[in-house]
């Protein structure tokens, strides 16, 4: 191969790798954002390398016209360990705003076909109950159990 | 006699086109490996890595994708696919296949190691129980493990130290196992490959790549040669001695127009006797397509080439090919120098007859120990007389310092090798140089050519023993 061709080819390869990496980061952020009704429903995606220390941030707002709160509430996010169960792995991150569970994000959410939707129900139930005191989602018993384990795991970190 | 192919293309544009085609194919190979990695990254495979386990998972998935892609490229390289072979030649492709073997194994090792470690970490068990767990609970994993072990055996048997110790026959049988290894590894990719499963178009892409490779291997490598040879009924036509220790064998069923090849190309030849049917041997055509039946000229220098000296007319032959780029297709200069040693003369004899040339355009150097041993020399002199080629037969014992040349007589002052070469072939700087002979001889000649600073694109080498 000529030197010029090799140089051009490696430049193209390197830049396409960088672009793919960036696309991957952006798409992960979007994919993890789960819409939750409520004033502080939106949350940031996981930030690499921060799980052991609490993350204190200004709450971001999805709509640019939403009024900024005058006093910043304390927002803390932790990640659970990866919980393995029959159908794969579950890992969540949980956000507390001023001590109340305000958002749950599914970081790893394996499930058998058609049971992915259980996660939306489970997230809503966790916020509603402020914990794990709710019944199983029918047809997704294993996923519910694993999810509850993850919630308990992460709550123990606050 | 007039030039046989009047409209031959030459020149810089042609040289660039040859170069671009070769580069495009090399880049296609690299892209095949790069593309799945891009898909993995774009899917968020490397985003938000925080724990060791996530890094493990990324390495595991990346090495799986890269390993699969390299494996498929590795197979295509030896599938003898015409549109690739006609650009690089079979010997270069085989060389690339050999060089790719070890890196492929390293990537597969990384994949196996990270998948075991990831699973161990996930389930909080030690590495050994992790292996047992994977193999005992998932049959696909057991198959993949067996495939992987076979792959290690195949690679170990192919490293040069092992090749020297085991016979070709044994190595060949072991190497056949690699096809089994590939098949054993396929199920676990489609059952557990998380990158595959999360991106349907990616698994479709790999499925297509697998099928493409399979069809190429099955058709070009196995079925086509057998089908063509049997439907045309190739067999040994005549066997004639052509000088000391060599025979010329014609193939019946290859009469004019029945088989297409360019001068300088070779065929993989299977002689269908009980002893030899399983192993094809490469032989260059020693005549050109316009001269009646295809003919091979074979020197006696080993088990098989010894046996074939006594082959009976009528013995069935399976031909595979033609292969090789030792042809006019790679020529870009107006002049040509053909340099042969020993039985390497076969494709040179063919080129001397067919290459487009005006009288004086073409120079032939033929190195042999003695005039008696110079196979096909009479034919070469006859062709040179008819077409106006210059020809020099270099005989005598080997020179110690420059082994490609015969020893210089002591009476005259010794000349530098490159001056001698320029004297024998005055147009060598402006010519395409076609070289065929044993490897040590070729290397010595290439050293001399290096002193003349001739660009690589002008030098074409065919090793007749590889």
A70 pLDDT higher than 50: no
Task: Kindly state whether B30 is in contact with chain A, defined as any CB-CB distance less than 8 angstroms.
Answer: yes
> Who among B41, B44, B122 is closest to A17 (CB)?
B41
Which residues in chain B are closer than 8 Å to A47, comparing Cβ atoms?
48
Among the listed ranges A70-74, A130-134, A153-157, B336-340, which one has the minimum average pLDDT value? A70-74
The pLDDT tens digits of the residues spanning B377-395 come to 999 999 999 999 999 999 8
What is the rounded CA–CA span in Å between residue B225 and residue B44?
46
Range of weakest confidence among B44-48, B339-343, B462-466: B462-466
**CATH 2.40.30.10-classified regions of chain B:** 232-323
pLDDT, tens digit, 9 for 90 and up, residues B418-447: 888 998 999 999 999 999 998 899 999 999
B38 and A CB contact within 8 Å: yes
The answer to whether B53 faces chain A, any CB pair under 8 Å, is: yes
Reported as a pLDDT band with limits 50, 70 and 90, residue B463 is: confident
Distance between terminal CA atoms of chain B? 36
User: Tokens representing A143?
Assistant: 């996923």
Using an 8 Å CB-CB cutoff, list residues of chain A that contact chain B.
1-2, 5, 9, 13, 16-17, 20-21, 23-25, 27-29, 31, 45-51, 79, 82, 84, 89, 107
**Record: contact A24-B42, CB cut-off 8 A:** yes
CB nearest to A16's CB, from B26, B38, B122? B38
C-alpha B105/C-alpha B148 separation (Å) is 9
Q: Which chain A residues touch B35 with a CB distance below 8 Å?
A: none
pLDDT at B2 over 60: no
For the purposes of burial, counting CB atoms within 10 Å of the CB of B427, is it exposed (0-12), middle (13-18) or buried (19 or more)? Answer: middle
- Pick the more confident residue, A17 or A121: A17
Q: Cα angle at A13 between A10 and A14, to 5 degrees?
A: 85
Smallest CA-to-CA distance from B463 within B435, B422, B429, B428 is with B435
The sign of the torsion formed by the CA atoms of B332, B337, B341, B342 equals positive
The pairing of beta strand B362-368 with beta strand B246-252: unpaired
Q: How far apart are CA B84 and CA B26, in angstroms?
A: 10
- Residue A29: pLDDT band (50, 70, 90) is low
pLDDT at A115: 63
How far B300 CA lies from chain A's nearest CA (Å)?
38
| Helical packing angle, B90-123 and B139-158, nearest 10° | 140
Average pLDDT of the residues of chain A:
72
Select from A2, A23, A25 the Cβ nearest to the Cβ of B23. A2
B200: left (phi over 0), alpha (psi -120 to 50) or beta: alpha
Q: What is the mean pLDDT of residues B450-464?
A: 87
Q: What is the mean pLDDT of residues A25-37?
A: 58
* Angle CA A120–A125–A127, to nearest 5: 100
CB contact under 8 A, B44 and A28: yes
* Rounded percentage of chain B residues whose pLDDT exceeds 70: 96
Q: B256 or A36, which is more confident?
A: B256
Question: Does residue A35 surpass a pLDDT of 60?
Answer: no
Q: Report, as an integer, the average pLDDT of B94-110.
A: 93
pLDDT by residue (tens digit) across B200-211?
888 889 999 999
Q: How many Å apart are CA A148 and CA A132, to the nearest integer?
A: 6
Q: Which chain B residues are within 8 Å of A150, Cβ to Cβ?
A: none
Q: How far is B302 from chain A (nearest CA, A)?
A: 37
Summarize the confidence of residues B263-285 as an average pLDDT: 90
Pick from B47, B49, B123: CB nearest A84:
B123
Q: Where in chain B is the domain with CATH 3.40.50.80?
A: 328-461
* Residue B3 scores a pLDDT above 80: no
Of A13, A24, A84, the CB nearest to B43: A24
Query: For the residues B149-167, what does the mean pLDDT come to?
Result: 89
Q: Are A48 and A24 contacting, i.e. CB atoms less than 8 angstroms apart?
A: no
Inter-chain CB proximity B122 and A82 less than 8 Å: yes
Q: What average pLDDT is seen over chain B?
A: 87
d(CA B124, CA B101): 35
Fold classification of B328-461 (topology level): Rossmann fold (3.40.50)
> Which of A13, A20, A45 lies closest to B42 in CB terms?
A20
pLDDT at B434: 96
| CATH class of the domain at B232-323 | mainly beta
**Lowest-confidence segment of A72-86, B42-56, B114-128 by average pLDDT:** B42-56
Residue B33 has pLDDT above 50, yes or no: yes
Sort strands B295-299 and B246-252 into parallel, antiparallel or unpaired.
antiparallel
pLDDT band for position A44 (50/70/90)?
very low
User: What pLDDT is stored for residue B409 in this prediction?
Assistant: 72
- Placement of tokens 């960036």 in the chain: A22
Average pLDDT on A47-63 reads 40
* pLDDT reported for residue B197: 65
Q: What are the φ/ψ torsions at residue B392 (nearest 5 degrees)?
A: -125, 125
Reported as a single tens digit per residue, the pLDDT across B348-378 is 999 999 998 899 999 999 999 888 888 899 9
More confident residue, B457 or A57: B457
pLDDT value at position B432? 94
Helix extents (H) in chain A: 3-32, 118-129, 141-155
The reply to whether B25 touches chain A by the CB within 8 Å rule is: no
CB contacts of A28 in chain B (<8 Å) are: 44, 47-48
Give the pair of three-digit tokens for residue B71: 């494996």
pLDDT given at position B58: 87
Residue pairs between chains A and B whose CB atoms are closer than 8 Å: 66
List the single best residue of B35, B50, B58 to mutate versus A (max A Cβ within 10 A).
Answer: B50
At A30, the pLDDT band (50, 70, 90 cuts) reads low
Where does the pLDDT of residue B403 fall: very low under 50, low under 70, confident under 90, or very high at 90 and above? confident
pLDDT for B167 equals 85
Q: Taking residues B117-129, what's their average pLDDT?
A: 81
Q: Which helix (H) or strand (E) holds A106?
A: strand A100-109
ipTM of the complex: 0.70
Per CB-CB distance under 8 Å, the chain A contacts of B38 are 16-17, 20
Using CA atoms, how far residue B436 sits from A99, A150, B230, B267, in Å, is 83, 70, 31, 16
Confidence band for A56, pLDDT divided at 50, 70 and 90:
very low
Distance in angstroms (rounded) separating the CA atoms of residues B18 and B15: 5
Note the pLDDT of residue B335.
93
pTM here is 0.73
| Nearest chain B Cα distance for residue A142, angstroms | 16
More confident residue, B109 or B47: B109
Across residues A18-44, what is the average pLDDT? Answer: 60
* pLDDT given at position A109: 82
Q: Which of the residue ranges A135-139, B102-106, B239-243 would you say has the lowest mean pLDDT?
A: A135-139
Q: Per the CB < 8 Å rule, is A21 touching B41?
A: yes
């Amino acid at each position: 191969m000529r030197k010029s061709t090799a140089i051009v080819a490696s430049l193209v390869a390197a830049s396409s790798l960088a672009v793919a990496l960036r696309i991957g980061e952006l798409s992960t952020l979007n994919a993890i954002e789960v819409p939750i009704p409520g004033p502080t429903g939106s949350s940031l995606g996981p930030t690499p390398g921060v799980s052991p220390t609490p993350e204190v941030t200004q709450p971001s707002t999805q709509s640019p016209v939403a009024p900024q709160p005058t006093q910043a509430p304390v927002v803390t996010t932790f990640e659970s360990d990866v919980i393995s169960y029959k159908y794969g792995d579950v890992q969540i991150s949980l956000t507390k705003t001023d001590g109340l569970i305000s958002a749950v994000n599914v970081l790893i959410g394996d499930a058998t076909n058609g049971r992915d939707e259980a996660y939306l129900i489970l997230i809503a139930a966790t916020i509603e109950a402020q914990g794990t005191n709710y019944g199983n989602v029918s047809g997704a018993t294993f996923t519910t159990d694993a999810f509850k384990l993850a919630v308990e795991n992460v709550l123990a970190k606050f | 006699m007039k030039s046989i192919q009047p409209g031959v293309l030459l020149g810089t544009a042609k040289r660039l086109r040859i170069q671009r085609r070769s580069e495009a194919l090399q880049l296609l190979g690299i892209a095949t490996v790069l593309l799945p990695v891009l898909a993995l990254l774009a899917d968020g495979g490397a985003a938000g890595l925080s724990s060791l386990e996530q890094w493990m998972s990324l390495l595991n998935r990346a090495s799986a994708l890269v390993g699969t892609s390299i494996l498929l490229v590795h197979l295509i390289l030896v599938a003898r696919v015409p549109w690739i072979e006609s650009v690089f030649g079979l010997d270069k492709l085989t060389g690339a296949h050999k060089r790719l073997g070890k890196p492929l194994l390293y990537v597969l090792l990384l994949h196996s190691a990270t998948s075991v470690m990831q699973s161990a970490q996930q389930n909080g068990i030690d590495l050994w129980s992790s292996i047992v767990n994977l193999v005992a609970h998932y049959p696909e994993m057991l198959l993949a493990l067996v495939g992987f072990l076979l792959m290690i055996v195949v690679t170990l048997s192919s490293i040069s130290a092992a090749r020297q110790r085991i016979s070709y026959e044994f190595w060949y049988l072991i190497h056949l196992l690699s096809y089994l290894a590939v098949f054993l590894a396929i199920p676990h990719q489609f059952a557990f490959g998380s990158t595959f499963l999360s991106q349907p178009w990616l698994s479709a892409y790999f499925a297509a790549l697998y099928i493409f490779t399979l069809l190429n291997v099955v058709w070009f490598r196995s079925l086509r040669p057998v089908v063509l040879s049997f439907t045309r009924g190739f067999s040994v036509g005549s066997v004639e001695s052509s000088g000391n220790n060599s025979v010329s064998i014609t193939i019946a069923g290859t009469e004019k127009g029945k088989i297409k090849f360019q001068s300088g190309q070779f065929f993989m030849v299977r002689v269908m006797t009980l002893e030899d049917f399983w192993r094809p041997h490469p032989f260059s055509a020693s005549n050109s397509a316009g001269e009646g039946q295809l003919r091979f000229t074979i020197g006696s220098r080993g088990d098989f080439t010894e046996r074939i000296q006594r082959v009976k007319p009528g013995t069935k032959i399976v031909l595979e090919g033609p292969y090789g780029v030792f042809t006019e297709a790679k020529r870009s200069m107006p002049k040509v120098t053909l340099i042969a040693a020993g039985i390497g003369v076969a494709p040179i004899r063919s080129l001397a007859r067919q290459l487009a040339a005006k009288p004086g355009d073409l120079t032939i150097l033929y190195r042999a120990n003695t005039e008696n041993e110079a196979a096909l020399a009479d034919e070469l002199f006859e062709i040179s007389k008819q077409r106006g080629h210059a020809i020099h037969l270099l005989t005598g014992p080997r020179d110690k310092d420059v082994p490609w040349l015969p020893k210089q007589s002591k009476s005259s002052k010794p000349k530098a090798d490159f001056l001698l070469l320029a004297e024998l072939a005055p147009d060598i700087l402006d010519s395409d140089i076609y070289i065929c002979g044993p490897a040590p001889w070729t290397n010595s000649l290439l050293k001399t050519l290096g002193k003349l600073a001739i660009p690589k694109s002008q030098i074409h080498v065919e090793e007749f023993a590889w």
